[in-house]
């Protein structure tokens, strides 16, 4: 399976690296997220090789999947981190991340988060509004520090992706309008505790074409040239993330083609390039393992009711996203057109529509391409404990997040006194 080189059938049984997925289900139960260490490492090395000897920094977008084991693996490989909250900062540091490889993005950074990041001595704040810049300047002054800043500019480029994950258009909440950025960069006398060190943009997620990246890069370079004409020194250009993955048969540029296109936006300039991949690093390195609870036939449709639900994997319900669904054990014989649905009390609780499968109650299924925005977006809706997570490393399986219990889920709550 070209999309999933570390998840393969061996004697008609789907494996994660060298481990049969049915063995993982027996030991850890379902639903369960399963990741391949080899897949994550191989994709990170693709980014490294694409940059070769260039001056670059890969900052993994923690929001895609924030499990400590995954962050620790990436940190050991030399990866930096793109964070969007104080919680993600603490996760990155706890996982061994280098603060000087951390950039802090997001439109709503709070004062306590700014203090935490300044105290940690992170590489850069990607600032998204004048109000945020003013607050950061005040906090840095109170701490007798200087905050390193890139302005995240909105280049008004159509990413041609789902509207919920498009972030580079004028109507989106993200970034500072590009036509206003030059004036802010030149207002250094107003922001005495700010040091502008970079220029940043991010136009969206799950992009399948290079042209939007190139357009955004060209608009940033035009702004950069104007800033340099005012003798403002910029150390790095941050072009965000957004490179898509193959969920099915999408035609996508390779990581090499993507990096080459980004480097071309710089031309001959000796400028550090920062990128923030999330989905493209982890998406196809994980799957959601689920068991069929019931087979239900109606005059209109055939349903496979599984033990995973929209609270475990939100993307199909939220975006109508498509994930391949594969049987763990291939079975010969006739197939049926199934709706793969969960037990949550919502008609929108589905993992896949119209999937041709030969199924019986008790069969295991793998929902593929679930490494990104799966566990990180999961919830306790319908009072369902969150799934377990495991990492496969060759023939070894590591539990990297224990299945949540009901007691753990309700522990923070309290009954009113009599």
Residue numbers annotated as active site: 345
Annotated binding residue 319: yes
Annotated binding residue 346: yes
**Residue closest to 28 by CA, chosen among 392, 375, 286, 275:** 392
What is the C-alpha separation between 358 and 175, in angstroms, rounded?
48
Annotated binding residue 242: yes
Q: What torsion do the CA atoms of 403, 405, 409, 415 make, to the nearest 10 degrees? A: 180
Q: Where are the beta strands (DSSP E) in 201-285?
A: 236-238, 272-275
**Residue closest to 120 by CA, chosen among 91, 148, 98, 99:** 99
Annotated binding residue 315: yes
3-state SS assignment for residue 168: coil
Write down the H helix ranges in 18-167. Answer: 21-28, 37-51, 68-77, 86-94, 111-120, 130-142
Annotated binding residue 276: yes
Cβ count within 10 A of residue 332: 7
What is the C-alpha separation between 174 and 166, in angstroms, rounded?
10
Annotated binding residue 373: yes
3-state SS assignment for residue 308: coil
For 91, the token pair is: 């996760």
Query: Residue 313 to residues 149, 308, 325, 380: CA-CA distances in angstroms?
Result: 35, 8, 13, 11
Q: Known binding site for pyridoxal 5'-phosphate: residues?
A: 242, 276-279, 373
Annotated binding site: 242, 276-279, 315, 319, 346, 373
Residues tagged in the binding site annotation for substrate = 279, 315, 319, 346, 373
């Amino acid at each position: 399976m070209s999309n999933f080189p570390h998840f393969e059938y061996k004697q008609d049984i789907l494996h994660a690296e060298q481990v049969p997925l049915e063995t993982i289900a027996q030991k850890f139960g379902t639903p369960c997220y399963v990741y391949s260490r080899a897949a994550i490492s191989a994709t990170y090395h693709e980014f490294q090789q694409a940059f070769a000897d260039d001056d670059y920094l890969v900052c993994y977008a923690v929001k895609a999947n924030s499990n400590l084991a995954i962050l620790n693996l990436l940190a050991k490989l030399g990866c930096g981190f793109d964070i969007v909250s104080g919680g993600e900062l603490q996760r990155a540091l706890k996982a061994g991340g280098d603060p000087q490889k951390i950039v802090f993005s997001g439109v709503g950074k709070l004062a306590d988060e700014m203090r935490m990041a300044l105290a940690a001595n992170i590489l850069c704040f990607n600032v998204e509004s004048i109000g945020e810049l003013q607050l950061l300047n005040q906090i840095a002054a109170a701490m007798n520090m200087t905050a390193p800043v890139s302005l995240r500019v909105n280049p008004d480029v159509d990413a041609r992706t789902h509207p919920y994950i498009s972030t580079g258009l004028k109507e989106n909440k993200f970034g500072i309008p590009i036509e206003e950025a030059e004036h802010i960069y030149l207002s250094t006398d107003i922001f005495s505790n700010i040091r502008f060190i970079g220029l940043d943009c991010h136009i969206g997620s799950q992009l399948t074409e290079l042209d939007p990246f190139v357009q955004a890069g060209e608009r940033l370079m035009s702004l950069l040239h104007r800033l340099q004409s005012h003798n403002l020194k910029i150390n790095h250009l941050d072009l965000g993330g957004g490179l898509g993955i193959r969920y099915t048969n999408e035609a996508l540029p390779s990581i090499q083609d993507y990096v080459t296109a980004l480097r071309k936006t710089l031309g001959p300039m000796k400028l550090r390039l920062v990128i923030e991949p999330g989905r493209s690093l982890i998406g196809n390195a994980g799957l959601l393992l689920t068991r069929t609870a019931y087979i239900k036939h109606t005059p209109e449709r055939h349903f496979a009711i599984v033990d995973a639900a929209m609270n475990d994997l939100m993307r199909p319900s939220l975006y109508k996203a498509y994930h391949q669904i594969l049987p763990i054990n291939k079975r010969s014989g006739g197939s049926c057109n199934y709706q793969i649905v969960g037990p949550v009390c919502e008609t929108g609780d589905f993992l896949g529509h119209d999937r041709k499968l030969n199924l019986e109650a008790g069969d295991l299924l793998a929902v593929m391409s679930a490494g990104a925005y799966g566990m990180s977006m999961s919830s306790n809706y319908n009072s369902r404990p969150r799934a377990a997570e495991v990492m496969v490393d060759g023939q070894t399986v590591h539990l990297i997040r224990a299945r949540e219990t009901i007691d753990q889920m309700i522990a923070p709550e309290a009954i009113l006194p009599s």
